[in-house]
Amino acid sequence: MKTILLSLSIICFTSALAQESVGEVLTQQSKWTFGWVYSPEVSHRILGEGTEANQSTSGIIDSRNDLERAKFGQSFSLFLGYRVSKTFTLEGGFGYTDFGEGLKPVDLTSVWAPEEIFGSYYGVNHLHVASLPITLHVNLGGQRVKWFVSAGVAPSLLMSANSTSRIEYSNGDVQTSSYFSNSAQEEYSRFILGANVSAGIDYQYSEKASLRIAPVFRMTATNAYAQNPIRANYFNAGLEIGTV
């Protein structure tokens, strides 16, 4: 009886070790990952003189910098990753980003009574951009918590541009409107090259899934304007949250 119990114990122990070894081998052989990330962001732009700048260009830039402000933007992407080595992972996929800028509140006054303010005007410009981001991740070790830094490029296509406005009257009434620019292809570059950098963690909360949290900064590396008196580089800064 003791011999039978000892034999069963050895068999169970050996089986457990074998299953653990197989699990480790399967984990080591898994080089592909799939994931998604969403990022609420702050959007703005940097203006400079382009190749066709003239004497009035710097004044226009100064005026716009005084009148315009940052706005809320966002990004979303789906990606497929391939682990090149223990240290490097290459990720590529499809992304969407809302770039743009806002207009600082403008007081509304009457021509007949300029000292009386009867409302405030708010405006926001949106650039809706689709991209194919390619990112290299440098993994910095860890078991359940894996730190990483990453950098990449994003060939992008401007899908559309629209503006929204909001008027808040002193009596409490609110009026909003939105319109899409019919001349977006003339005002903005159709093709834009973007770049991005981030650093964060992948927290493994189950056998096959990790939670990704990472501050991210993305920017248009080429001029976003089709004409070159003014050069515009749009940028977004935010926090990516997603699952790998």
- d(Cα 146, Cα 165) in Å, to the nearest integer? 43
Tokens read off for 224: 């976003």
Residue (of 25, 224, 221) closest to 126 by Cα position: 224
Do residues 170 and 118 lie in contact, with contact meaning Cβ atoms separated by under 8 Å?
Answer: yes
The amino acid at 14:
T
The amino acid at 211:
L
Per-residue pLDDT at 53 = 87
- d(Cα 117, Cα 88) in Å, to the nearest integer? 59
Per-residue pLDDT at 179 = 81
Per-residue pLDDT at 177 = 87
Per-residue pLDDT at 4 = 41
Per-residue pLDDT at 182 = 64
Place of tokens 């390619």: 134
Per-residue pLDDT at 69 = 96
- Which residues in the chain land under pLDDT 50? 1-27
Residues facing 218 on adjacent strands: 196, 236
> What pTM was computed for the model?
0.81
Per-residue pLDDT at 102 = 95
CA atoms within 13 A on the CB side of 62: 5
Per-residue pLDDT at 227 = 82
First to last CA, the chain: 50
